[in-house]
Chain A
Amino acid sequence: MTLTLETHVDLRLWELVGSGAVDALRAEGLPIPEAELTAVEHGPGFVACTGRNGYLIAGEEEWQQSPQTPPWLLQRSDWVMRLSGARWSDALTELCPHDLGRLPPGGWFMAAVAGVNAWLYRPASVPDSLLLGFDPSYGAYLESMLQSVVRDPSRINPS
């Protein structure tokens, strides 16, 4: 299967922080990750636990920002891409120092990709793909870097 890059994945992202965050997730019927730096699939997206009382929600929901009381819900504008193909982890060896081949289906991870901080999610339902999200101001740069890797015909890996 060839490697493909979808450069704009339409997901709404929200950051939920503060005491009561778990209760807020529960109240909305959202899944709750078991531990920090893990995620649970949710529709086309996921709910990830980013730290103590901190969650990243990716999906199709639209909420109103409520920044006045905890937990605080902050709108995110992450640029999200999807890399698909059985050898997606090989391609990322050119851009990321971590052995992403070890990221299990359903795994969520934060790492630098081409020098830019990103979150990475490998959906359990589509294990031959990887969602990547990052600061939108780096979007054009990362798109060009990922495209150059995906389109590089000479890309060879040690396997």
Chain B
Amino acid sequence: MPFRRSEAGPREWIDRHRTVHFTFEGTRYVAFAGDTITSALQANGVQLLGRSFKYHRPRGALSMANHDVNALFTTADDTNVRGDVTPVTDALDVRPVNVSGSLARDAHRHLDRLGRFLPAGFYYKAFHKPRWLFPYWERLIRRRAGLGTVDSAWTPRRRPKRYGYCDVLVVGGGPAGLQAALGAAEASLDVLLVDENPHLGGSLDYEWVTDPAAPAQRDELMEAVAASPAIRVLTSAVALGFYTDHWVPVSTPEGIIKVRARGVVLATGVIEQPAVFRNNDLPGVLMASAAQRLLHRFGVQACERAVLQVNNPEGFAAAEDLRRGGVELQAVVASGPGVQKADAAALVDAGVPVHFGWAIVEAHGDGAVAAATIAPVDAGGVPDQTHARRIDCDGVVSSAGWGPAGHLLYQAGGRFSYDDTLEMPVPVAWPDTVVPAGRMNGVFSLASQRDDGRDAAGRLAAALAGGPVSDPMSNRDTRAHATPWPVVPHPKGRDFVDLDEDLQYKDLIQGAREGFDNVELLKRFTTVGMGPSQGKHSNLNAFRILARYLGQGMDETGTTTARPMYHPVRLEDLAGRRMRPWRETPVQAWHGEHGGFLMESGEWERPSFYGEEADAQQVIASEVTAVRTGVGIIDVSTLGKIEVLGPDAATLLDGSYTMRQGNLRAGLTRYALRTDDTGVIVDDGVVGRLAEDHYYLTATSSHAEGTYQTLTRHALEWGLDVHVVNRTGQLGALNLTGPLSRRVLEPLVDVDLSEAALPRLGMTDARVCGEWARLLRVGFVGELGYEIHAPAGTMARIWDALMDAGAPLGIRPFGVDTQRVLRLEKGHIIVGQDTDGLTNPFEAAMPWAVHLKKPWFVGRPALAHLKGAEQRKLVRFVMAADSSAPLPRESHLVIRDGTIAGRVTSIARSPTLGRPIGLAMVDRDLAEAGQALAIRGDGGRMLAAEVVTETFYDPDGLRQNADAPEVTP
């Protein structure tokens, strides 16, 4: 059973002077500040930490490095908390996940006995027949599968992301990383050193603690790093992935830092790999580095009597560490090319039984290790059971070998190859500015790791200086640090390769046998490497098993793709600070203060109408009537507003729009339609000319930015001498419209508003309320109207002045939905509503807007081809005035002979005309005046409509005459 040592070690992370109280499954425990949940439980003799995903087998500490999820917990406000690396805090209440009842009496623990019915891929085999029963199984499996319970009422605690910059990012604060950071700083580079642990030191603080030469080197490195003003240090910081151009997000307790570096040193170390034997997942079976982490960081001895499997020099050193720490070594079994008898000298001298050429075959115990069976193994790793021995123990510790923590190097474009000397994959190619160092690079001795770090920093500095980069020094070890085959398959199974997924050796063989004999297929069929630890402790052994099954080498077998994130990241941290830009018009506050019912319109919020939502229809109708009979005012500040200035202004607009703009007289505007190269309508607006070389145009609110970018691009691509200035947000705009609009405006302006002075479609600069403004006579809603554009700083005053001036005449503000009805009565289209992603001007019944006589404009070749070939057309339609049935809605279909013949694009009850009107895109032969349309509305109800060709309201435009008797002041 694990226990806390009373004697403090020299590198402990815990503060033995500060106690912490926490509860686990309702039992109260004491720990020290600095303990993790796992170390605290182990210190209290709690070995059983979790239940496995599929079979609900008992699990304990395995890696103590976040390379497995045996210890996964839930707390009051979080779930899937990783016990190995999560600090225990005062009053923390911890419970296991994936358990029904208690850990010891988990109601699902009997699933282990059904294991033979639940092999890899069993979903596809056991439950797909009979088909009618599958929904039942699906519900059952979904309830059982998954880890942890999500509280949908949780309160997210967003931690803002921020950017960080450095010359050199060093990932990994062990001996190689510390040395690399110092080397880069000495080359006058700005260094950011990050390590996922709460303290720098890496293996110096668990593997090298008792090495006589290590402490002095550690102190030297730490002091030098702390003293260097060029090195910034971040601990508890995980480099999540490597993205284009040295962009590395680093997860910290305060949120994600998006680091942009000029170069990166990856000293990310290695990941210990487990030995595979029967019951290798029992609590009490752990890896040697885990035992050392527990001992040296937390003062916890993993067990009292241990059997060790050693396949490398690190294993022998770990055994000696444990022995000196008070563990009785019942036996050490050692085999493979990584074993040299000289490494065992201290153990042998101390009387520890060391069996060379032996391996662990099986662990025994009910809920925790109680014994281990060892046996001699041949060169192929096959045990000789006739000489097997069972040894009582309460801990099984293995040191089978290492895999590189090379994820970031993979993502940076590096390549790995299996090294038959080291018996692990090592980097063989990498970018000049992303450099591996240390154990990840196959470098193991302490002195060599420092040399490797120094060399990496030097080559990186040369690359950043643009100079020649020398070949890397070979600091790699020349002996094995792993066994090529850490697997002793057992006929009865329970020899786990992937502990996250409860995958046994036979599952992988079965997958390969069934034809999933490629690493990518094997992964997806068996789910190896797809659990929460993302293959850190399982992938290398899985590739070994597949390689041996296929009779090929490791490189030929390949690997799966290491994708970000290196460790899971909280969604709160990925979300960061909410940045959702919104925009306000100069009159925004007025709308809210005067009952504007606001609706989202892109980044803006615009008033739909002014009134209560429940009264929407009546309010809109009364606003329409007010505009038609009196005067209304609408805030159209969201419109795109663009100045086009320069000698080539006309050329730019002639080329960008379908209608000629070069022959527009100064002081006038013209409707402007823009298509893309295929002739599809993209946007519309109004172009006005102020001078030979000065135009001013509007665009729709949703395409304002797009129009500006398109015009700017055209100006660049066509080499034009022109300035395109986006004034969309700089200027506000309002539309004052209705028969009484001239009366309201005239006293406030310094220009003549007569039809002769400012004709329909005219434009002029003027002073409104003493401030500069631009007046456009536009007729979107079909009444006499003035669009007033003025600087944002003066717009609100102009609005207020117009409201005051119009009050005696009953001026009404009106909103977007009212405007939609008004323009519909006039038959005007809205791009994006009455047109879709394929509509050309001919289909939109706008052939007059396409000036094919122009020698060239964007879309001209396509439009020349499309003219006359349209198969559908936009038509106006009316419905019976006395219809009280619910109207069809936009996108409801036009049906003919049971098939689709079109769709409604706009529809409304017209207060002015007293009947429903609309626009529809229909088959060409339905586009004749008088043609009956059958529209399928809600519930499949068929409603009758009739095509009309004349615009619904004021077809001759008489209402827009500024000199009409009813409008003249």
Contact = CB atoms under 8 A, between A and B. Distances in A.
Interface stretch (A23-31, A33-41, A120-128, A138-146): A138-146
A2 interface: no
Contact of B254 (A67, A72, A93, A154): A154
B765 interface: yes
Contacts of B723: 17-18, 53-54, 72
A110 interface: no
A114 B581 contact: yes
Interface stretch (B162-170, B531-539, B677-685): B162-170
Contacts of A99: 163, 165, 260
A74 B643 contact: yes
Contacts of A98: 163
A70 B693 contact: yes
Interface in B780-807: 791-793
B619 interface: no
Interface string A91-113: 00111111101000000000000
Contacts of A115: 579, 581
B581 A101 contact: no
23 contacts: A17-B723, A18-B723, A53-B723, A54-B723, A69-B691, A75-B730, A77-B731, A94-B161, A94-B163, A95-B579, A97-B260, A116-B581, A136-B586, A136-B792, A137-B583, A138-B581, A138-B582, A138-B583, A141-B581, A149-B160, A155-B160, A158-B232, A158-B234
Nearest to B250: A158
A89 to B, nearest CB: 10
Contact of B765 (A67, A97, A156): A67
A136 B792 CA distance: 7
A98 B163 CA distance: 8
B828 interface: no
A98 B162 CA distance: 11
A-B interface, 8 closest residue pairs, ranked by CB to CB distance from nearest: A135-B729, A137-B729, A77-B792, A137-B583, A99-B165, A93-B162, A17-B723, A94-B162
B694 to A, nearest CB: 6
B302 interface: no
B257 A139 contact: no
Contacts of A157: 162, 164
B727 interface: yes
Contacts of B163: 93-94, 96-99
A147 interface: no
Interface string B566-578: 0000000000010
B681 to A, nearest CB: 26
B730 A70 contact: no
A152 B581 contact: no
Given A74-B727, A75-B772, A101 B165 contact: yes
Interface in A42-65: 53-54, 64-65
Among A15, A64, A93, A101, chain B packs the most CB atoms within 10 A around the CB of: A93
A65 B646 contact: no
A98 B258 CA distance: 11
B178 interface: no
Contacts of B694: 67-68, 72
Given A74-B730, A138-B582, A158-B192, 12 more contacts: A74-B725, A77-B792, A93-B164, A94-B160, A94-B161, A97-B258, A135-B729, A137-B584, A137-B604, A138-B583, A139-B584, A145-B579
A59 B248 CA distance: 41
Contacts of B47: none
A93 B258 CA distance: 9
Contacts of B409: none
Contacts of A96: 163
Contacts of A67: 643, 690-691, 694, 765
A106 B693 CA distance: 35
A68 B585 CA distance: 27
B583 A141 contact: yes
Contacts of B160: 94, 149, 152, 155
A137 B725 contact: no
A82 interface: no
Contacts, number: 110
Interface of B: 160-165, 192, 232, 234, 254, 257-258, 260, 577, 579, 581-586, 604, 637, 643, 645-646, 690-691, 693-694, 723, 725, 727-731, 765, 772, 791-793
Contacts of A97: 163, 258, 260
B234 A17 contact: no
Nearest to A75: B791
A76 B730 contact: yes
Contacts of B260: 97, 99
Given A101-B165, A114-B579, A17 B791 contact: no
Contact of A68 (B164, B691, B727): B691
Given A77-B792, A97-B163, A70 B577 contact: no
A154 B645 CA distance: 48
Give the one of A18, A53, A154, A158 with max B CB within 10 A. A158
B645 A72 contact: yes
A70 B729 contact: no
Given A67-B694, A136-B792, A156 B254 contact: yes
A15 B645 CA distance: 12
A64 B791 CA distance: 13
A98 to B, nearest CB: 8
Contacts of B793: 77, 136
Contacts of A94: 160-163, 577
B679 to A, nearest CB: 32
Contacts of A54: 723
A110 B582 CA distance: 20
Contacts of A139: 584
Contacts of A76: 730
Nearest to A144: B582
Contact of B730 (A135, A140, A159): A135
A50 to B, nearest CB: 10
B190 to A, nearest CB: 10
Given A94-B162, A138-B583, A65 B772 contact: yes
Contacts of B791: 75, 77
Contacts of A154: 254
B584 A140 contact: yes
A158 B236 CA distance: 13
B357 to A, nearest CB: 52
A72 B643 contact: yes
A139 to B, nearest CB: 7
Contacts of A68: 690-691, 694
A38 B868 CA distance: 54
A98 B583 CA distance: 24
B797 to A, nearest CB: 13
Nearest to B257: A158
B256 to A, nearest CB: 11
Interface string A66-89: 011110101111100000000000
A93 to B, nearest CB: 4
A136 B729 contact: yes
Nearest to A15: B725
Contacts of A145: 577, 579
A74 to B, nearest CB: 6
Contacts of B765: 65, 67
A138 B637 CA distance: 13
Nearest to B160: A94
B79 to A, nearest CB: 24
Interface string A1-27: 000000000000001011000000000
Nearest to B585: A137
Nearest to B582: A141
Contacts of A137: 583-585, 604, 637, 728-729, 792
A136 B584 CA distance: 8
Contacts of B690: 67-68
A75 B165 CA distance: 37
Contacts of B646: 18, 70
Nearest to B247: A97
B237 to A, nearest CB: 9
